[in-house]
Amino acid sequence: MDFEHIVRQAAAEESKLTLESYGQHNIGIRLHREDGLHLRVKGPCGQRLGSMGMPGTTITCEGSVSDDVGYLNIGAEITLHGDATNGVCNAMAAGKVFVGGSIGARGLTMTKWNPDHEKPELWVLGSTGDSFAEFNCGGIAVICGIDPKNPDNVLGYRPCVGMVGGLIYFRGEQDGSYSKTNARLDVPTDEQWQWLLDNISGYLDKIGRQDLLESLTVREEWQVLNSVTPQERALMWSGPMPMAQYRDEFWNKAFGGDPLRDLAPALDRSTIGAITTGDLRRRAPWWSNNEQAAPCTYYCPIHIPTVERLRLIREGKIEEAYELILGYTPLPASVCGAVCPNLCMENCTRTGVDGSIEMQVLGRAVANFDPPEEAESLGKKVAIIGGGPAGLNAAWQLAIGGVEAHIFERDSQLGGKLAQVVPWERLPQAIWDEEIKRFTSLSNVHVNLDTDMTPTKFEGLQKDFDYVIIAVGTHEPRRLTFPGHELVIPALDFLKEAKGKDSMKMGKEVVVIGAGNVGCDVACEAYRLGAEQVTLVDIQKPLAFGKEKEAAEALGAGFKWPVVTKEVTPEGLVTTDGELIPAQTVFISIGDVPSLPFLPGSVQTMQVGGADWIQTDQAHKTSDGRILAIGDVERPGLATDALGAGKNAAEAILAEIRGEEWQPFNKQLVPQQTLTITHYNPSDKGNTEEDQAARCLSCATCRDCHLCETICPTGAITRDELRLSAETSFEYISDDDKCIGCGFCADTCPCGIWQMNPY
């Protein structure tokens, strides 16, 4: 962890910090606490001390400092007891910087000032370097001239170039090189002098030099450089004839006689301003609330709207949040909260701040919540062959939608591989049992266990049901034919047996052929049953990832690749390179394939890898319009892929029954570059739903923060309340007649809502 992050972590825990510095950069950058933060730095500092300083933060440095002190400061108070080099207060918008020595070149350049806040201030005991206050737009500087670096010129060469606002107090000599078109030399007015008297004592207190108060309050020794207003500067103009004057004196006189005029005499020839509105803009903002998908929703195979769920939790609508997720899956606690690799977390934008939203916390919270109400009956029945995650979600969605869902499961329990194979250490049985209980409580769900499907039974289902969904998964292990293959145990058979009451005996040394996530589950179970060393081998770099791989490695499992098996003997696995990997037990985990002996000829399949896979369209319909296929019988995938397929198929059926057009998920991913995450500070992740809701960045969904409304320089953006049924919503609107197309709204929006479109 670098120095900057160490400081940030410490600041999250303590409001008063003392640092020993040896030239580190970025000390105090973007630090903030609600109760204020006080940072004392001992020793020399590197660049950007207090950069992007936040309101409520005070920083005191006991030594000298390198470049860019207070760069982009928006409210911090920074005190230096020594000198500072170049770029002090560059682009500062608010806050105060007190310097107990002198500063280098380009101090107080490109400052900003928001009239809703106090003006930024820079106090310097000594002198400044060259190009001081260049493009100053509102900052106030006080240069005291005590022990200056150059007694003949306390302001350096060419100060105030491009200055359009602000004020500079100075005491001492200057060489007259300041920009006369941007600044005017004066003596302080009564109001200006009173401001200096009111504030100089506080400055001297900060730097420990109250002994100078009397000598620094002699009015006759002070001068000021006031910024020249645009109106005053226009009167100074002596260059070429302005275009407006040329238009009035020459161009307009040609009206009626000039050939161009004759072609379009009614054409509007009024001046087009340098800053335009309406149709003359090159681009215009669009409030694209909820039109794109957050990364968590986009990468989730079920497309759960996690941002919306977290919004409901923030608003205290916990039951509505639970109902929302149960509208997408019957297994949020078992899958989202336990076995899922959580692609949502892997792609969460919050990882760029301090780590992703903890999705397991959200998933487990729904374990004991009641199911949603079932809709009025639509008078239809659907047969679902297979009670794994795909079949469960298809039945769940159909039942809630008012359709009878009849599951025909070959096993003695529901759940497919989740119940049969996944170790209870990864999927807590109490949570699983609770969610299956909730699932079977739906009146439209009918479960038939221990049912083997045959062609005759399938034909009967086609006659008795409006639709048939095939969701049998893949329960036929792939096998390889090498010498000794009969000594190898399929991973699927082993995991089913290991999860049962009678577990097989395990050798001390174990080899697993196939280093995917299922292979890692095999390794973990082998260790649990007494293995001392497990080696996973693969012909390529292992595909294992996430929690499964971490668990196997934590137990001591090793990975070897590339390894091609030549044969398996009682002594172990022999590779094509002649190496013997000792093993008393060898497993094979290279995937499973469907078994479809009941499938009618009207359903087309595609052979891949020696197995038949059912071909479907986007709505999971097969070549027979009343037969659908979902889950691993289409293509292998995660449990969430199966759940997503079940949901889509059910929604397509419901839409067809209602005479509606089914619409698949089609939102585009919100571009990462439109999300302004610099607004957020690292925080403790917490372990409650409320903690996660507070941390959510609300990607692609407006968080109603008012930043766009506040930052708009022309006041073009307004917030309107909308009443939708019993709920009050809102929208932000940009007035075309005021908007200048600057893009500030898009640049500051933390959620990526404002899009700048070519006009």
The string of pLDDT tens digits covering residues 630-675 is 999 998 899 999 999 999 999 999 999 999 999 999 999 999 999 9
Mean pLDDT on 104-112:
94
Mean pLDDT on 287-299:
94
> For 677-717, what is each residue's pLDDT tens digit?
888 888 888 888 898 898 999 999 998 989 999 899 999 99
> For 211-234, what is each residue's pLDDT tens digit?
999 999 999 999 999 999 877 877
Taking all residues of the chain, what is their mean pLDDT, rounded to a whole number?
A: 90
pLDDT of residue 257: 43
**What separation, in Å, do the N-terminal and C-terminal C-alpha atoms of the chain show?**
46
Per-residue pLDDT for 735 more than 90? yes
Residue with tokens 């917030």: 719
> For 415-435, what is each residue's pLDDT tens digit?
999 999 888 888 899 999 999
pLDDT of residue 445: 96
Report the alpha-carbon distance of residue 715 to residue 705 in Å, rounded: 16
Q: What would the CATH number be for the domain defined by 479-590?
A: 3.50.50.60
Mean pLDDT on 354-360:
87
Least confident of 408-417, 604-613, 745-754: 604-613
Same fold, 3-233 and 381-475+594-658: no
CATH architecture of the domain with range 381-475+594-658: 3-Layer(bba) Sandwich (3.50)
Per-residue pLDDT for 256 more than 50? no
Q: Where are the domains of the chain?
A: 3-233, 240-271, 381-475+594-658, 479-590
Report the alpha-carbon distance of residue 299 to residue 348 in Å, rounded: 10
Residues 102, 166, 218, 177: what is their CA dihedral angle, to the nearest 10 degrees? 60
Mean pLDDT on 117-136:
95
Model confidence band, residue 270 (pLDDT cutoffs 50, 70, 90): low
Model confidence band, residue 261 (pLDDT cutoffs 50, 70, 90): very low
Domain 3-233 is in which class? mainly beta
Per-residue pLDDT for 254 more than 60? no
pTM for the predicted model, two decimal places: 0.67
Report the alpha-carbon distance of residue 565 to residue 481 in Å, rounded: 10
Mean pLDDT on 361-377:
88
Model confidence band, residue 159 (pLDDT cutoffs 50, 70, 90): very high
**DSSP conformational letter for 290:** T
Per-residue pLDDT for 59 more than 70? yes
Per-residue pLDDT for 274 more than 80? no
- 3-state SS, residue 352: helix
Per-residue pLDDT for 1 more than 60? no
pLDDT of residue 502: 67
pLDDT of residue 670: 94
Sign of the Cα torsion 669, 697, 305, 424 reads positive
Report the alpha-carbon distance of residue 474 to residue 613 in Å, rounded: 10
Cβ(57)–Cβ(39) below 8 Å: yes
Cβ(92)–Cβ(108) below 8 Å: yes
Mean pLDDT on 193-217:
96
- In 3D, which of 85, 42, 78 has the Cα closest to residue 58? 78
Residue with tokens 């780590």: 355
